[in-house]
Every structure is written in structure tokens, then in C-alpha cells.
Amino acid sequence: MGKDFLYNEIANGIAGQIRRGVLKSGDRLPSVRMLCDKHAISMNTAKRVFQELEAQSLIDAKPQSGYFVSRLPYLKLPLPEVSRPSASANNNEPDELISKVYANMGNNDLTLFSVGVASGNLLPLAKLKKEIIQATRELRDGGTAYEPLQGNAKLRRMIAVRSLTWGGNLHENDLVTTNGGMNALSFCLMAVGKPGDTIAVESPAYPGTLRLALSLGFKVMELPTHPITGIEIDALKKAIPKINLCLLVPNFNTPLGGCIPDESKKEIVALLSKHHIPLIEDDIYGDLYFGPLRPKCCKSFDEEGNVLWCSSISKTLAPGYRVGWVAPGKYKDKLLKLKLMHSISSPSIMQEAVANFLATGKYDNHLRHLRRTLQDNYQNYVHAIAQYFPEGTKTSRPQGGLSIWVEFNKGIDTAELYDLAIKQRISISPGRMFTLQNQFENCMRLCIGLPWSAEIKSKLKQLGNLVKML
């Protein structure tokens, strides 16, 4: 607790300077190193200071540059409260609402704020096409033969190499490739759970995971989640006796975009491990950090093979390629058997192409560019929301990822907003989609993967006007 006190004190000092105008919008803050020296604190404590200020939306990280005092709109838009879902398992699936929203997702005549991917013109399309052609040349029989069950070895090697950036230290043999990230989660859920089990998840959570868990016969327990620091550990502790497995998106989960601090990740891993509760970790947004550093994963702290770490390139490179993977820890044999039974193997060409792309430096260049674009989009969205949406509108403060969570005053029904907006060719994701309980009816998710333009701005204005009419 002494450490907590220390970083809070320093953070409060800086926050005060910003609020009093000593530090002005756009001013650069000292570096992590400088802060360490100045206060004689550890790197970790210094990082925590900046994380706290970022969480309060007082500062922004800029890749390769450091931290800067935020632009003003952030300060005007309050943060949503920590979610307070009911403590019992629920299964009130918003099936009709989800079907309605999903049915419009392929409709490119709409402005799709509802689709959680990066738009095609943010992706390295020409380079990927070359890798596909190269893959048909390199692979035995042009990629027509069955791939080995565990998946393309080169791809697994590249993922293992990259795991160092988040403290993963994986070996290619620890990994199994899958038909996209959702397929990885599906195999993990089947590997560690059985019908009747109770699964703990964040709240709000990705609708696909909630539905999948229900369809596999699980009871779903949604836990209180802070928009910035993620799932509340105390709530998780209390739930322990009632749960059999846990699925978290610790880094930039959709819809909130929060990030569980590294120490908390460590604590969660230890807690679940101690009680033999498997943790499925969905890290598909991990590479899309806005700050200076790739956050760690729960897997980084996994000493007993109890964490099944899942990811894919669907959010960073090519959703349509369906290339995902999992490091299933001690559940690897179960996972391989499930993969064999449900799909035999994965398409060779897609995996080889992605492996070759990762093997060059191209992926990191692309990611740098994509992260900067998404962060700019995020700031532009927040500006537009501050400008066009009604007083009292709250927004999450994503530290990465592809979405913003917007909360309106009670009484605003975003399912109704969806129906109005779709008539104006705008698609949003109503908050009720992200829970199996009766909550979040006054919330919505906006995706920030579309390239910013005057048209997007005007669509956000239209949306704001619709909310004001409700």
C-alpha cells in the first residue's frame, strides 16, 4: 500500500498542475526515466503514475514521443461508472436485437459504426496479396494438402518470437493455430468447460462470447468492470466459489477499451490458478495500444499453464483471412483433439501468407501506422461527441483497441436510437447487446475503425441530433 500511496501522490501533484493550468493542453510531460530520477522511484511506479493520469484523461501517450497534456474535450466528457451487473448468472439473451444489428453488417451503403474492425484502406492490401501468391509458390502442392494439425510451423514461430514484446516467452510448440480468433475461443471453451459450468466474464462484454458460452450450456456470470482498469478483482474473488472458468479480454476489450494493470493481471492469474479455475485470455486487441508500450498479458504471469492465451490478426491485418491461434498451456492435448474433430486443420495458404508477412518488418511498420490512425480517430470521435451529443453524455477512455463506449442519461433507449439511425443509413451497436441482463439500455458502442472524414463527422453530428430528439 506504500507504493500505492507514492504513485497516487505524484499523480495527484501533476493532475493539480494540469487542472490549475500550470501545465497546458499539448505540453510535454517528463519521460518515465526523468520521473524515476526526480522522485527516486522505480520504473514500475513511474509508469503507474502516467497510467493513472491517462486513466483520468488528463494526458495522452503518443507513440515514440512520450506523454502530453490532453486536448480539452476529454475533460468535459465524464467517465461511465463501474458496471454493476447482478451477482447471479443470467441468460436473458438479446437475440432479436443482435440479429437485427448483425444483418446490416455487410451493408456497405451504411456508415457502419457497428463493425469492430479496421477499414480496408487502413490495411496493407497490396503487400498481403503478394504474400498470398508467394504462399502458393512455397507450400507443398501449392497449399492444397492438409496442413499439420498444430498449424503452420513458420506462423507459430513468428508468434512465439513476437511474444517477447509482452513478456510471453512462448515456444512455437506451445501454439496451435485456428480458423480465426473466435474459433480459438470456441475450442478453449469446449476444452476447459462443460454444460452446466459457470463462466465469469467482464460486463459489458463482446456479444459473440456471451452467446457462445450460453450455447455451450454454460451459466454466465457478468462481473463489475471499471471502464479503465477492467474487471474488479474483489468481485472476482467473491465469485470464485461459484465459477468453473473465466474468460477475460484484459487489453482494450470491446466495448470499453480498458486495460487491466499489469499487477492486477498477475494477481488474477495467481488467484485463478490457486483455485484451479482455467483462464481463457482473449488478446486480439493487445497490439493496438495507444500508449508507448505493448501491455503484458495474463499469460505473461502464467507459471502453471492455466492460462489459454488466444489472439488473431483479424483486428490488425485481415479479418477475412481467418487466421487465429491459441497458447493453451496445459490444455494443449485437449485443444488439438478438438481442432482435429471440428475442423481437421486450417487453410494452409492463409497461414503461410500471414507468417511471411510477420517474418518481414512489415507488420510492425503497419501496426505503428494503424495505432496512430486509430488514436487520431478516437480523439476526433471524442471531439465530435463533445460537440454534438447532449450534455451528460459519458464516454469510456480506451487506451487502445477499436471502440468507444458511450453512456447517455437514463431514459435514452439505444435500441430505439438504432432504429432511427438506420433510417439515416447509420449503424450503431446498442448497449443491450453486450450483456445477458437488463442493463446498458442507455449505452452504445461506436467503432473507430473507419477512416476519419468530413462525412464521418457529419454522421456523428446526425447521430447526436437523433439522441437529442429521444
Whole-number Å distance between alpha carbons of 263 and 241: 23
Q: CB-wise, 3 or 342, nearer to a copy of itself?
A: 342
Quote the CA–CA distance of 314 and 206 in Å, as a whole number.
15
Options 36, 79, 128, 374; binder of a copy of itself; rule CB under 8 A: 128
By the rule CB under 8 A, 63 interacts with a copy of itself: no
Given the complex with a copy of itself, which of 345 and 414 has the nearer CB atom? 345
Q: Which stretch binds a copy of itself (CB under 8 A): 135-143, 281-289, 295-303, 355-363?
A: 135-143
Q: Which helix (H) or strand (E) holds 405?
A: strand 403-407
Min separation Cβ 132 and a copy of itself, Å: 5
Minimum CB distance to a copy of itself smaller for 133 or for 161: 133
> For the chain, what is the total number of helices (H) and then of strands (E)?
16, 17
Per the CB < 8 A criterion, the answer to whether 354 and 131 are in contact is yes
Asked if 14 and 29 touch (Cβ cutoff 8 Å), the reply is yes
- Distance, in Å, from the CA atom of 232 to the CA atom of 225, rounded to the nearest integer, reads 6
Half-sphere exposure of 431 (CA within 13 A, CB side): 25
Instruction: Give the one residue of 20, 21, 24, 140 binding a copy of itself; rule: CB under 8 A.
Output: 140
Task: Give the full edge-to-edge strand order of the sheet including 443-447.
Answer: 394-395, 403-407, 443-447, 429-430
Site for a copy of itself in 201-240 (CB under 8 A): 208, 211-212, 215, 217
- Rule CB under 8 A: say whether 367 interacts with a copy of itself: no
Answer for which of 23, 29, 132, 221 binds a copy of itself (CB under 8 A) is: 132
Interface with a copy of itself (CB under 8 A), residue from 205, 317, 386, 446: 317
145 binds a copy of itself (CB under 8 A): yes
Query: Using CA atoms in the order 115, 121, 125, 126, what is the torsion angle rounded to 10 degrees?
Result: 170
CB 341 → a copy of itself: shortest distance, Å?
4
Stretch of 15-23, 77-85, 101-109, 419-427 lying at the interface with a copy of itself (CB under 8 A) = 101-109
* Best CA proximity match to 328, nearest among 343, 308, 311: 308
- Binding stretches for a copy of itself (CB under 8 A): 102, 105-106, 117, 120, 123, 125-126, 128-129, 132-133, 136-137, 139-149, 179-180, 182-183, 186, 190, 195, 208, 211-212, 215, 217, 314, 317-322, 337-338, 340-350
